[in-house]
Amino acid sequence: QVQLVESGGGLVQAGGSLRLSCTASRMSFSFYTMGWYRQAPGKQRELVAGISSGSATNYEDSVKGRFTISRDNAKNTVYLQMNSLKPEDTAVYYCNARYMSVEYWGKGTLVTVSS
């Protein structure tokens, strides 16, 4: 079955950086639109950044200029480079893969930004 495994979360001070990775298995990765979502305590899950099969990208307004999403189809991996982190970026970050009506989620990785 398809698996999405996130890594790279952790504790970082405000202003710091982290790079999240999500490696997919048992799927035709290059066909999928990949996304990073996050869910903070007491809040709804929201899309942070997405990248299409053609590498077009989109970002949630609050992360524009600070976060960069990229993909390496040869490694079946999508990345989220997060710079200038803020305490409000604290959340569980989830990897998402979507192709037509098919969708998969990872289990999430926790990012905690201290002030």
Say what percent of the chain tops pLDDT 90.
Answer: 100
> Residues 105-115: pLDDT tens digits?
999 999 999 99
Burial (CB count within 10 angstroms: exposed 0-12, middle 13-18, buried 19+), residue 99:
middle
> Residues 22-42: pLDDT tens digits?
999 999 999 999 999 999 999
Could you tell me the CA-to-CA distances from 70 to 92, 112, 113 in Å, in that order?
A: 19, 22, 22
> Residues 46-76: pLDDT tens digits?
999 999 999 999 999 999 999 999 999 999 9
